[in-house]
Structure 1
């Protein structure tokens, strides 16, 4: 048998990297070098039990990143703007990995990217956690690294965390997404892994491509209707205008409002291609039924 292709998975104990690592570990063609800052955390220990090689790496250390990338076939790279709220830091991290991928001759990088909204809109709209990833996408291409960008939509998991519906009465809840009547793409982040696996197995088709992912495209009213049908509670569209949303009292309100403004522009997300890359990708309804317990204590 030929040797397995070693893939370095950044953020391996997080939502995106964990999904990718687990999908790759199920395929005999690949071996996983799982990058984490803490090799003792439960998620890391679990991956080691599944066969991953754990490597302690801080993205702030070029030497540690280079050591992790030496001698491998490729990598899955995800960076986390929300860890530091610093676009320049996220860009620096992404460009460093791009430079090392070039230097070390990696055959394929799958990057968790997003659009450079500021460039697309001619400076009219700034979405920092998009724009930095967009700059990194462009840099990979500029220095001719074989890269595929996967652009995730709104996570279904957001409904049980940052975008949890607001209680308005006994078993009644408001979904506070400032989308009006414009459909918004969504997907479970847990379904990313098989997508990345398919891309790595079809290198020639996907190198150089930006792939917008989506499992469902629904209006807020439709999201609410599906949630009502699946969860035994009543959900309604909160009908919050984006102009009101951006003035809400939480850190990042303006950033999130601008993200939704970009979503109003219908960014390119491909439902059919997503399903081809992961035939088991979950619709919102399927995901809600599987995760209903997470909504019991809303």
Structure 2
């Protein structure tokens, strides 16, 4: 019998990756959920045979309709996009930051998503794209990584819904390999001596997961759909310290390797700037305190061989990029 997977945000990088993989998976049909089914970005998926439906994350009933008949659902809520929507700045309460507003918005939307998924009688697997709480990891030292906190709050809500929790697994993606395109603090910075160094807030530099999200998210989600529920998969293709990450960058770009430059969290915030500087600074500093080998995490290489979970290394990704465009922003 053919099964149905419903993909939230099919026009985004994560959702598109899930669609790519499940289009190749025998026995599955796909339904993509988007805010506007008439957008040009949905045409590609319609031509591939994907059913495209509209739903509003602010309206639970529209999500219930979009999820109807699903055997599997991939749930992902955009953290960053609303920060750059000028319309949202007019909604701020007195004294409220855009980061705080976006946290509340994401949690509200995530709860709507979870509540809607919990009504689906046919559902066998719900896979949520989540993140750990940096505030919890650091015992309250770094409370402002709101895009992490929102994901953790949504996962807590999912766990409070017994029928949904029993069908749920979570994928926690590593740092996106493409983050360098959006934020200058997430790429090597040219130093006075002409070398290039990664800026790291704090005094630690431990290995961290890095994922080529557009290519690999689908394989992570597929593994979780095919495996029993209750898993937390750490999704990555490379596991590198900033020093090793920088070594790969500079070798491929053909520029001098300046290693790592440790700076304070405040210096990192000022370097990146608003609105995301404080969140990136505290997230990176917090993850430097996080033990990725914590029991309970499933790593890609631990996925059963008969299911498989191929990944893409950061080196493979960087080699596929246009070097000239990289150098323009470095």
TM-score (norm 1): 0.88
Runs (5+) with no aligned partner, structure 1:
none
Moved more, 188-197 or 120-129: 120-129
> Please, which moves more after superposition, 171-180 or 152-161?
171-180
Q: Is the 8 A contact 2:7 2:15 kept in 1?
A: yes
| Residue range with higher mean Cα deviation, 214-223 or 240-249 | 240-249
Counterpart in the other structure of 1:197: 222
Match of 2:142 in 1: 125
Change (3 A) 1:275 1:253: farther
Residue 78 (structure 1) aligned to one of 76, 79, 84: 76
- 1:99 is aligned to 115
| 1:24 pairs with 2:42 | no
Please state how far the C-alpha of 1:129 moved relative to its aligned partner. 0.8
Give me the whole-angstrom Cα distance separating, in 2, the residues matched to 1:46 and 1:267.
40
SS at match of 1:130: helix
Q: In the alignment, what sits opposite 1:210?
A: 232
Contact 2:301/2:309 (<8 A) preserved: no
Question: After TM superposition, where is structure 1 displaced by more than 4 Å over at least 4 residues in a row?
Answer: 167-172, 274-279
Structure 1 position 232 matched with structure 2 position 254? yes
Q: Give 2:67's match in structure 1, choosing from 42, 65, 69.
A: 69
Structure 2 contact 197–260 (Cα < 8 Å) conserved:
yes
Rounded Cα–Cα distance in structure 1 between residues aligned with 2:40 and 2:308: 27
Partner secondary structure for residue 42 of structure 2: helix
- Aligned-residue RMSD, C-alpha: 2.4
1:88-167 alignment, distance < 5 Å = 88-105=104-121, 106-126=123-143, 127-144=145-162, 145=164, 146-162=167-183, 163-167=186-190
Inter-partner Cα distance in structure 2 for 1:240 and 1:121: 19
Cα shift readout 1:159-200 (whole Å, capped 9, x = no counterpart) = 233224334589854433436432222111121111111221
| Equivalence for 1:45 | 43
Conserved 8 A contact 1:12-1:21? yes
Structure 2 gap segments, 5+ residues each: 83-98
Query: Displacement, 1:119?
Result: 3.5
Aligned twin of 2:315 = 285
- CA–CA distance in structure 1, aligned partners of residues 236 and 110 of structure 2: 24
Provide TM-score, normalisation by structure 2.
0.80
CA shift digits 1:94-142 (9 cap, x unpaired): 1112112222232211000111233444433312111111111122122
Change in 2 beyond 3 A, CA 1:230/1:120? closer
Q: How far 1:278 sits from its partner (Å)? A: 5.3
Matched, 1:247 2:270: yes
Distance in structure 2 (CA, Å) of the matches to 1:128 and 1:87: 6
Cα drift, residue 273 of structure 1: 3.1
